[in-house]
Amino acid sequence: MDLNQSKCGILCIRGNVQPIKFPYSLHGETIKSVDHQKDLGVTITTDLKWSKHVLEVTSKVNKMLGFVQRSTFDTKDFLVHKTLYSSLVKSNLSYCSHVWAPQSVANLHSLECVQRCASRFILSLPFRTDNRDLMI
């Protein structure tokens, strides 16, 4: 079985050090160098920062949450919303999270924004609320 050269790429994990430029080839064709690569659903970058992966995950989860909200617009049942969130949204949000555990404030903030939106959906709260009204 042959490899498809157009789908192959070289990812040099380097940190702060400049990579050594060496032309790798496969069956006589030069393989392109890439800055990020998705492997088993986790996006890995050359500097091993998780911002790109968190951006992709939050984008995917926001789309799924919007789909669930549009599909269940007439339903106000708490258990239905919670089940749909747990099965469709949270599963995508927590996939391989032990690998890419967010540590930067910006990544944590973007993930928390998605979870706040999901909480409003589950509890059938309006889109915009005053934070003082939610405190007990």
Q: Can you give the pLDDT at residue 63? A: 92
- Tens digit of pLDDT for each residue in 56-67? 999 999 999 889
SS3 letters for the chain?
Answer: CCCCHHHCCECCCCCCCCCCCCCCEECCEECCECCEEEECCEEEECCCCCHHHHHHHHHHHHHHHHHHHHHCCCCCCHHHHHHHHHHHHHHHHCCCCCCCCCCCHHHHHHHHHHHHHHHHHHCCCCCCCCHHHHCC
Quick one: average pLDDT of 87-104?
81
44 pLDDT above the threshold of 60: yes
Q: Provide the pLDDT for residue 136.
A: 46
**pLDDT surpasses 60 at 135:** no
> Would you say residue 99 has pLDDT above 80?
no
Whether the pLDDT of residue 130 is over 60: the answer is no
pTM: 0.74
When pLDDT is averaged across residues 108-117 and rounded to a whole number, the result is 86
Whether 28 has a pLDDT exceeding 80, the answer reads yes
